[in-house]
Amino acid sequence: MSRKGECYDNAVAESFFNTLKTELVNQHTYQTREQAKSSIFEYIEVFYNKVRRHSTIGYYSPSDYEKKFYQDNSLT
């Protein structure tokens, strides 16, 4: 562990929040905190975790990667 505030300690989280800000937050003006919370929740649960392609899994979406995993590892 390095000194306090070292970004490399938490690179995955730093990358995620950079993506969130770039793809969503900086593109909108929210009137209320509730609007922001709702928008961010929808982005994460509907788009980021299911549809968005991720470089760490070969540029598959998480749902496509899961399907491929089960097809490649099926016992039939």
Which long-range contacts link 38-43 to residues 24+ away (Cβ below 8 Å)?
Answer: none
- pTM for this prediction: 0.69
Cβ pair 43, 20 in contact under 8 A: yes
Instruction: Indicate the length of the chain as a whole number.
Output: 76
- Pairwise CA distance, residues 16 & 72, whole Å: 28
Per-residue pLDDT of the chain (76 residues; tens, 9 = 90+): 556 666 677 888 888 999 999 999 999 999 999 999 999 999 999 998 889 998 889 999 999 999 999 999 985 5
